[in-house]
Amino acid sequence: MNKQAITYKIGNSLYLNITNRCLNDCGFCIRRKAKNFNGEHPLWLDQEPTAEEVINAIGDPNQYDQIVFCGYGEPLIRLDAVKEIAKKIRAQQPSNRTTKPPVIRLDTNGQANLFWSRNIVPELKGLIDHVIVSLNAESAGLYQELCSSHFGQAAYPAILDFIKECKKYIPQVEASIVGLDIVNKEACQKIAGQLGVPLRIRPYYENKYVR
């Protein structure tokens, strides 16, 4: 697995690239443009890493501010791996009491309950500190136009329900959109407000992620 990156660092956050499988085919996604993220991280996987391989690649998790499940695919397609990895990170509490353990974050398209045909969010309780759910549009129609979900028009209402469920079990929940001109940011802000979560507007990038 030397030719693929299963972890990559941005700032003092470590990102975990555990799958390339996704439930969407977003027209704006950077993975459409480059196999090497930011020109340096080879995120296209020849094979998916085992949970043990990911844990070994992390090393000491307490050297990072955040450990983030986010790569070139939808992490919750590998739900069991996410849970196992998060449990192992949790188990490695810092020996120095002045050192804070890393925040465990999950970036997701919010369609895991459709994929698994059940509500998986309670299984993340105590494992995930922060979840960012990609809302990406103000309506089901525009979402499907932009993101081409495998679930069609059913995806968008499921995402809204997923955010509501996350609010019950996960300490910090955000919705996010990409800052595209076609997206009504004010309408998305209103939807996020109705869901009781902040809205993060991610920059659209052609070739390189800007933190």
- Residue 95 confidence (pLDDT) above 90: no
**Has residue 207 been placed in a domain?**
no
**Has residue 83 been placed in a domain?**
yes
pLDDT of residue 39: 58
CATH number at 51 reads 3.20.20.70
**Has residue 210 been placed in a domain?**
no
More confident residue, 104 or 29: 104
What is the domain extent for residue 104?
7-202
Out of 13-27, 93-107, 141-155, 190-204, least confident range: 93-107
Element (H, E) at 25: none
- Residue 198 confidence (pLDDT) above 90: yes
Confirm whether pTM is higher than 0.85.
Answer: yes
- Residue 64 confidence (pLDDT) above 90: yes
**Has residue 211 been placed in a domain?**
no
**Has residue 1 been placed in a domain?**
no
Out of 25-29, 34-38, 95-99, 190-194, least confident range: 34-38
Give the chain's domain count.
1
**Has residue 149 been placed in a domain?**
yes
Which residue(s) pair with 130 in the sheet?
A: 105, 172
**Dihedral angle over CA of 13, 18, 20, 22, nearest 10:** -90
**Has residue 42 been placed in a domain?**
yes
Which residue(s) pair with 15 in the sheet?
A: 8, 68
**Dihedral angle over CA of 18, 101, 120, 82, nearest 10:** 20
Q: What is the mean pLDDT of the chain?
A: 91
**Has residue 45 been placed in a domain?**
yes
The secondary structure of 101-132, three-state, reads CCEEEEEECCCHHHHHCCCCHHHHCCCCCEEE
Q: Is 165 helix (H, G, I), strand (E, B) or coil?
A: helix
